[in-house]
Amino acid sequence: MAINPVKVPVREQEAKVRATNFEEVCYGYNAEEAMEEAKRCLNCKNPKCVQGCPVSISIPEFIQEVKAGEFEKAAKVIAKSSSLPAVCGRVCPQETQCEGVCVVGIKGDPVSIGKLERFVADWSRENNIDLTGDIEKNGIKVGIVGSGPAGLACAGDLAKLGYDVTVFEAFHESGGVLTYGIPEFRLPKEKVVNYEIDSIRKLGVKIENNVIVGRTITIDEMIEEEGFKAVFIGSGAGLPSFMGIPGENANGVLSANEFLTRVNLMKAYIDDYDTPIRVGKHVAVVGGGNVAMDAARTALRLGADTHIVYRRSEEELPARVEEVHHAKEEGIIFDLLTNPKEIHVDENGNVCGLTCVKMELGEPDDSGRRRPVEVPGSEFRIDVDMVIMSLGTKPNPLIASTTPGLDVDKRRCIVADEDGLTSLEGIYAGGDTVTGAATVISAMGAGRVAAAAMHKYLKEKYL
């Protein structure tokens, strides 16, 4: 049978309507659409898509189950490799991973693997499918620092292997960036994130919130006083960078992290919450990654007319293609090949404008991307009353500075080998705290790899 070169389109909220609300943009596939899309998979003998997946989900196997209408079986296949499928189906950069290498994509659209994964996970949740399985406990205590995707994936795998797992989380809510960073309109918190975290709790994982490791308890104390036999550090990279340009200390200049945390974690977008948030009428978001898109689309939904200011061209935008497309549809203005030089401040200390300079692309730099260089004399001013900086993040130095002997590199990232082992015996690390800001699935992959290595270490020492 000939394969349809065009994927089954996914239904979405209309751009004009969604630009004014925080409800989810994409509705996902229904059962008929999912089964139709699943027919496009060739069930390859040597599936490239699996090689492109950082947690090696058995993709053709689950897609064949979807094709047959066996959705519970499909959910069980995915559950073997991923504890956060409804999250990953929504936010993974599939276009550069599994879908980027799908052979159907050579002559047409690749199979919509992400949308199929999302469908299976949502169906499984809506039908209360229990994917826990039987666990034989071994009573050995393992501690996890941070409840983001790295920590949760590591915790889930270790709990399935029988360990007594406790996650320590600094915030009052769990989920890391899934909860405080990625907005509700892309990743619903109650329906999706909290449900998947609860599924990890059902494996026996305990999550202790409001515990700052390095302040409330140190890693040494976890090992020496609390009886943890190994620790995984998945503390992310939550410390924002700034440009160092004049005016950056003005009222109305925020990091994207602070802005999104106020809105997502502290629910500033809901009238009933008293979290203060002042959103300008004209907002510039500096940067071009997923975080910048999220900040811009959030500001837009809070009533601002919003610009993305990015120093390279559209081709180099690091954000997911789908996010850029959605941002444009919603009316975000893209000032590309543009770099801020100075933030203007009025007599009350508030932002009142942004001087930018036009850029052009020169020779490739260390990252392989063409280096942006200023066009002399091309300065111009944008009238904005708020600037959100989204220039990347670094790990917070707290854990490294309170854990003697824990090596970090010059970017303050924890140094870990391919198994996630740090410079200290029994202490593992993974996710953004090791790699710097990356992706949900790479953090989960690192958590899973470390869980396997920790199991090997603990088995040899204690079992």
Ligand X SMILES: Cc1cc2nc3c(=O)[nH]c(=O)nc-3n(C[C@H](O)[C@H](O)[C@H](O)COP(=O)(O)OP(=O)(O)OC[C@H]3O[C@@H](n4cnc5c(N)ncnc54)[C@H](O)[C@@H]3O)c2cc1C
Q: Which residues bind ligand SF4 (CB under 6 A)?
A: 41-44, 47-49, 59-60, 63, 102-104, 111, 113
Please state at what angle helix 149-160 crosses helix 440-462, rounded to 10 degrees. 40
- The yes or no reply on residue 266 touching ligand X (CB under 6 A) is no
71, 171, 310, 428: which one binds ligand X (CB under 6 A): 171
Question: Among ligand SF4, ligand X, none, what does residue 236 contact (CB within 5–8 Å per kind)?
Answer: ligand X
Residues 6+ apart with CB under 8 A from 13: 21, 23, 24, 25, 26, 27
Terminal-residue alpha carbon distance, the chain: 53
Return all residues near 8 (Cβ < 8 A) that are at least 6 apart. 29, 33, 36, 37, 112
Find, among 120, 91, 92, 97, the residue nearest to 110 by Cα: 97
Question: Does 235 help bind ligand X (rule: CB under 6 A)?
Answer: yes
* Residue 91 interacts with, from ligand SF4, ligand X, none (CB under 5-8 Å by kind): ligand X
Site residue total, ligand X (CB under 6 A)? 43
Binding-site member from 169, 330, 335, 385 for ligand X (CB under 6 A): 169
Partner touching 213 among ligand SF4, ligand X, none, CB below 5 to 8 Å by kind: ligand X
Nearer to ligand X, 408 or 443 (CB): 443
Q: Applying CB under 6 A, which part among 41-49, 174-182, 219-227, 371-379 lies near ligand X?
A: 174-182
Give the interface segment with ligand X, choosing from 48-56, 127-135, 175-183, 347-355 (CB under 6 A): 175-183
Span near ligand X by CB under 6 A; candidates 12-20, 171-179, 300-308, 411-419: 171-179
Q: How far is the CB of 110 from ligand SF4 (least distance, A)?
A: 6
Do residues 148 and 180 make contact, with C-beta atoms less than 8 angstroms apart? no
Q: What are phi and psi of 163, to 5 degrees?
A: -75, 155
Q: From the centroid of its chain, how far is CA 187? A: 10
Residue 444, phi then psi, degrees to nearest 5: -65, -40
Among 439, 449, 454, 455, binds ligand X (CB under 6 A): 439
Question: Whose Cβ is closer to ligand X: residue 387's or residue 440's?
Answer: 440
92 touches, from ligand X, ligand SF4, none (C-beta below 5 to 8 Å by class): ligand X
Nearer to ligand SF4, 121 or 389 (CB): 121
Site string for ligand X, 40-79 (x = CB under 6 A): ----------------------------------------
Q: Provide, rounded to whole angstroms, the least separation between the CB of residue 443 and ligand X.
A: 3
Q: Does 398 bind ligand X (CB under 6 A)?
A: yes
**Which alpha helices (H) appear in 11-139, and where do they start and end?**
15-18, 31-38, 48-51, 59-67, 71-79, 85-91, 98-101, 113-126
Judged by CB, which is closer to ligand SF4: 114, or 289? 114
Among 59, 66, 78, 150, binds ligand X (CB under 6 A): 150
Q: Which does 49 bind (CB under 5 to 8 A by kind): ligand X, ligand SF4, none?
A: ligand SF4
Q: Give SS3 for 216.
A: coil
Interface with ligand X includes 185 (CB under 6 A)? no
Q: In the set 148, 280, 340, 353, which binds ligand X (CB under 6 A)?
A: 148
280: exposed, middle or buried (Cβ count in 10 Å: 0-12, 13-18, 19+) = buried
Share in percent of the chain as helix, strand, coil (round to 5): 35, 20, 45
Query: What's the sign of the alpha-carbon dihedral 411, 417, 419, 424?
Result: negative
Q: How far is the CB of 105 from ligand SF4 (least distance, A)?
A: 7
DSSP string, 333-396: EEE-SEEEEEEEE-TTSBEEEEEEEEEEEEEE-TTSSEEEEE-TT--EEE--SEEEE-S-EE--
Distance in Å, CB of 435 to ligand X, minimum? 8
How many angstroms separate the CA atoms of 267 and 288, rounded?
24
For residue 306, give every residue at least 6 positions away whose Cβ sits within 8 Å of its Cβ, in sequence order, or none. Answer: 282, 283, 284, 285, 296, 297, 299, 300, 332, 333
- Least separation in angstroms between residue 446's CB and ligand X is 7
Can you list the pairs that 266-271 forms with residues at least 24 positions away whose Cβ atoms lie under 8 Å?
Answer: 269/22, 269/184, 269/298, 269/301, 269/302
Q: Which is nearer to ligand SF4, 3 or 375 (CB)?
A: 3
Q: 63, 112 in Cβ contact below 8 A? A: no
Using CB under 6 A, which of 212, 265, 361, 452 touches ligand X?
212
**Per-residue x/- marks for ligand X, 332-361, CB under 6 A?**
------------------------------
Q: Which residues bind ligand X (CB under 6 A)?
A: 91-93, 145-151, 168-171, 176-177, 181-182, 211-214, 234-236, 238, 260, 290-291, 294, 320, 396, 398-399, 431-433, 437-441, 443
